[in-house]
Structure 1
């Protein structure tokens, strides 16, 4: 059973952090005797979401609403946006194992997690985004990662002829793919057109021109994406 507590002090001992906490309610002795020495602690972000995060959340909700609802009148758009928000919050809660989620009361960490969920949904489902640069700039690493796992071009969102570019430890140019350790490589998914462009002008110029970046993948995703 979860108990609310307040952190009163944090100390260092032998390279470890010691938390001194004060519980809001007295815990009876009979319960203390049953408590394991190993406990799970949830650290809550006390910062409220920022105005920028609020803007991005509602912009993404608007994009999804336009894609699926086809609202015409201002009133219908508002109603449809609320329906979309409710559906997205429900899907988000199912994914992260929460019983409820409030945009209005979201912490900064919660808002970031919800934005990343919405961005992933849009990329996975091919939602046409009018404010794509806004979402890319919020977390370009997350954007590129979502494009990689859903086989979408990180520049134009196409799913046709998409290739995975090694943005570091480049394959080709005399290097043997079979001897490359992909855990040392960085990747970005690009259409054939943009993949050719990055080879023509080089990664640094390409990165500056298109405002993108590469990401590192762990062993699970390298295997899952069949990178060879």
Structure 2
């Protein structure tokens, strides 16, 4: 598919959510000849990365560097930053927005997505961390999803059971392999934190650790070998 990258500006927003955008097409004759009908709109975040987001990025990069290189120094952190930024660009960014970015002045949305990517990388590769990952995440929902996907406790990072939340629980003695799980709400918790949850109200436990429930979708059901 032929693509042209054109930058435009929103000139009006209607009450029904419609945006009127003005964009200059570099070659109008070529556009007419190709018959472009659809466009992809990417809303750029004009806010710059916050000091807190920058701190989280370097804390996570430090954890990765310490695990992969055996030592956390400015050099090993910079090398992991270079490698992981490239991986992030290739794997997570859309082709139309794939570009080099700097942790000094990138936008907040890119920083948020990069932090999520680093956390996913740590969870998927079972990298131990000095600080609980939840303290360095910028998107709790994405973090909870990754923990569920890899069966890691959302509180401490250890191997987790899948706790079915109130309203989604399966009765005692029921064969879970035969119960439909799609749409049920769960929490990934290790045995210690799972036991703690059952000792207090569920809502109190969730508030204490700043967690969010995860709704099982088809991808999670397949990964966890749950009946859809």
TM-score range, shorter chain: 0.7 to 0.9
2:158 — aligned with what? 158
The answer on 1:208 being equivalent to 2:204 is: no
Partner of 1:188: helix, strand, or coil? Answer: strand
2:197 — aligned with what? 198
Mapped to 2, the partners of 1:82 and 1:179 lie a distance apart of 49
The answer on 1:93 being equivalent to 2:89 is: yes
| Stretches of structure 1 lacking an aligned partner (at least 5 in a row) | none
Alignment map for 1:62-77 (pairs within 5 Å)? 62-71=62-71, 77=73
Mapped to 1, the partners of 2:75 and 2:222 lie a distance apart of 43
Shift of the alpha carbon at 1:91?
1.4
Partner of 1:182: helix, strand, or coil? Answer: coil
TM (norm. structure 2) is 0.82
| Stretches of structure 2 lacking an aligned partner (at least 5 in a row) | none
2:106 — aligned with what? 106
The answer on 1:6 being equivalent to 2:9 is: yes
Mapped to 2, the partners of 1:130 and 1:156 lie a distance apart of 10
Mapped to 2, the partners of 1:210 and 1:41 lie a distance apart of 37
Q: Equivalent of 1:81, from 60, 64, 77?
A: 77
Q: Is this contact kept in 2: 1:198–1:206, CA < 8 A?
A: yes
Partner of 1:36: helix, strand, or coil? Answer: coil
Q: Is this contact kept in 1: 2:6–2:23, CA < 8 A?
A: no
The answer on 1:189 being equivalent to 2:205 is: no
Mapped to 1, the partners of 2:223 and 2:164 lie a distance apart of 16
Mapped to 1, the partners of 2:131 and 2:192 lie a distance apart of 23
Shift of the alpha carbon at 1:30?
4.0
Partner of 1:42: helix, strand, or coil? Answer: coil
The answer on 1:17 being equivalent to 2:13 is: no
TM (norm. structure 1) is 0.82
2:54 — aligned with what? 54
Mapped to 2, the partners of 1:85 and 1:200 lie a distance apart of 42
Q: Is this contact kept in 2: 1:9–1:21, CA < 8 A?
A: no
Mapped to 1, the partners of 2:212 and 2:21 lie a distance apart of 41
Shift of the alpha carbon at 1:157?
1.4
Q: Is this contact kept in 1: 2:180–2:226, CA < 8 A?
A: no
Q: 1:192 to 1:42 in 2, by over 3 A?
A: same
Deviations 1:170-203 (A, max 9, x none): 2225878578653442111122333233223331
Mapped to 1, the partners of 2:10 and 2:203 lie a distance apart of 46
Q: Could you say what the CA RMSD is over the residues aligned between the two structures, in angstroms?
A: 2.6
